[in-house]
Amino acid sequence: MDVIIYHNPACGTSRNALELIRHVGTEPHVVEYLKTPPSRTMVAWLAERAGKPLRDLLREKGTPFAELGLGDPGLTDDQLLDAIAAHPILLNRPIVVSPLGVALCRPSEAVLDLLPADDLKPFTKEDGEVVIDASGQRVQR
């Protein structure tokens, strides 16, 4: 299965999603989007394919979101794309693309909806939270 993850290695949620992808036996294409930001067209496509407004892909925490006034509901998608292009940290993560769809995977276990669910093995996140139990079942929170 061909999977792409827009990843920030400094983010625990992103690290957990990446490990879950690998855990099910898929080696994804990892795009460290702070080093190699996606184009405006790609960001717009990701939002469209995820079925989300572009605004839903914005990250507030640890970004210049407030300073740039990005909470203003009157801003257009072009203005939001300009902000993301100038400050890639504004793009929330991890965003995962697979043949099963596109999603902002927060929480990280949301990535399982984009991956084959056959024969899952136990998985625990780096903070100790169990995601897949000993019987191979997803733990619902």
Catalytic residue numbers read 11
DSSP letter for each residue of 67-90 = TTTTT-TT--HHHHHHHHHH-GGG
Which pair of structure tokens corresponds to residue 27? 């080696």
Q: Is the separation of the CB atoms in 47 and 20 below 8 Å?
A: no
Q: Is beta strand 123-124 parallel, antiparallel or unpaired with respect to 29-32? A: unpaired
Taking the CB of residue 13, how many other CB atoms lie within 10 A of it?
A: 21
Q: If residue 21 lies in a helix (H) or strand (E), which one and from where to where?
A: helix 12-23
What is the rounded distance in angstroms from the CA atom of residue 22 to the CA atom of residue 131?
Answer: 14
